[in-house]
Amino acid sequence: MSDSRVRIARRVAKFLQNGDLVNLGIGLPTLVANYLPEGLEVEFQSENGLIGLGGAPEAGQEDQDITNAGAQPATLAVGASCFDSAMSFAVIRGGHVGVTVLGALEVDQEGNLANWIVPGKMVPGMGGAMDLVAGAKTVIVAMEHCTKAGASKVLKHCTLPLTASRRVKYIVTELAVLKVTEHGLELMETAPGVTPGEVQEKTEATLLIPDTVGCME
């Protein structure tokens, strides 16, 4: 596993607070469950019908009947509850999820999110993302800062079809932590050894850079 993905997951985990009901999207966001700060007590919800989702099982200890929403092997915490999709989406649409962590194809300076389709290409599709982004109290995007071709995924305006409009609050990448404000994207933290200027060079959106910028840990 790359250090950049671990850095993102660790930093996202620090946004969580005791008592939060948290949904982790497929892919990189599922790693967050493996890096909770010591003593933090949260419940993870998975749209395939679980509350009390645990981290990844040890090799050889997988149970084919216990998976996360991305069909990856998972574990159950003590007291976990399993239920059908109707109940799962009632929890989501009812506004009971405190935080959702999702990946993105694009996100922009207004907090718009595009993560479900690239026209003309085969991708997983919408899944529960639309419901999660609309229903969760806080939306955090966890993703790599640029595409494999080097293009910024943090834009002035999304070019792909939107999942939701103006719902993202924080963006965490391997380079930086950004906060969506009414004035634009504020640079909260940079990764060790990365300067604010370097983050801006890899970001299409114009960043608001305060006098003091923290360091991702």
Q: Which residues are catalytic?
A: 47
202 Cβ contact list (under 8 Å, min separation 6): 145, 146, 152, 175
Helix (H, G, I), strand (E, B) or coil at 48: coil
Helix (H, G, I), strand (E, B) or coil at 211: coil
Structure-token pair, residue 191: 């990764």
Per DSSP, the residues of 73-131 read B--EEEEEEE--HHHHHHHHHTT---EEEE--SEEETT--EE-S--TTS-----TTHHH
Place of tokens 């293009």: 151
Whole-number CA gyration radius for the chain:
17
Contact indicator for 40, 16 with CB cutoff of 8 Å: yes
Helix (H, G, I), strand (E, B) or coil at 155: strand
CA atoms of 135 and 128, how far apart (whole Å): 11
